Amino acid sequence: MIPVLEAKNLCKNYDIGGVSIKAVCNVNLIINKGDFVAITGKSGSGKSTLMHMLGLLDTPSNGELILNGKNTKGMNEKELAQVRNKEIGFVFQSFNLLQRTTVLENVMLPLIYSTIPNEEHEKIALNVIKQVGLDHRLKNKSNELSGGERQRVAIARALVNSPSLILADEPTGNLDSKTGDEIEKMLVELNKKGITIILVTHDNDLAQITKKQIVLRDGEIVDGY
């Protein structure tokens, strides 16, 4: 079986004041379909840098990232954007919704850049909005929603293109504990349905909802692989 995602000797260096700083070094990962993996570590351990590379938001200094058997090394920005939009769904701590746009419009947004016919967009978006329990809020703008509702919209938007992988970066970080628990349960249920999820967090309690935890320290995996 071809892995959903494979990272080979992934590294990211930053040149700061003429000094090369290693943010991530020699990371090797294999993520298979249906995996639910947490990447953990303290602040400054390289979690965000690694997530940006895994999500094709940043280019590695060295190494290779292979998504569904397709090596992304050497792809230009347009090619990376196309793969990213089709294969990866993102859920961020800050939700990243368009504030004066309705729930339906926010969820439909990734479909604009897909090859799916326009006449099918609304039907697909309605289906995933129903999955996250927000079909009664379709016409509400995102600035009219609670934090938990906004994160549900973000999850629906991440699912709308039926991606191979969901990347969730501190998805409960801006939520109270009760709402955070609801989002955790939703992620667990999505994974039970076969959706592959990588969860990035410094919260060890949140990491425990996953099937496997990987620990980063100083940009390197020190436990879990």
Radius of gyration over alpha carbons of the chain, in Å? Answer: 17
CA–CA separation, 221 vs 88, rounded Å? 23
Q: Per the structure block, which two tokens stand in for 125?
A: 């978006």
Other CB atoms within 10 A of residue 123 CB:
8
Contacts of 201 (CB under 8 A, 6+ apart): 38, 39, 40, 47, 169, 170, 173, 207
Instruction: Determine the 3-state secondary structure of 176 from DSSP.
Output: coil
Structural domains present in the chain: 34-58+85-223 (3.40.50.300)
Q: pTM for the full model?
A: 0.93
Q: Residue 81: CA atoms inside 13 Å, Cβ hemisphere, count?
A: 7
Average pLDDT over residues 99-107: 93
Instruction: Determine the 3-state secondary structure of 83 from DSSP.
Output: helix
Helices (H) and strands (E) in the chain, counts: 7, 10
Cβ(198)–Cβ(171) under 8 Å? no
pLDDT at 41 over 70: yes
- Model pLDDT for residues 73-95, shown as the tens digit of each residue: 999 999 999 999 999 999 998 88
Please report the pLDDT score of residue 225 as a whole number: 64
- Model pLDDT for residues 11-37, shown as the tens digit of each residue: 999 988 888 889 999 999 999 999 999
* DSSP codes joined into one string, 57-81: SS--SEEEEEETTEE-TT--HHHHH
What band does 189 get if pLDDT is binned at 50, 70 and 90? very high
Q: In what order do the strands lie in the sheet with 5-16?
A: 19-31, 5-16, 62-67, 70-71
- Distances in Å between the alpha carbon of 79 and those of 2, 50, 74, 109? 21, 20, 10, 19
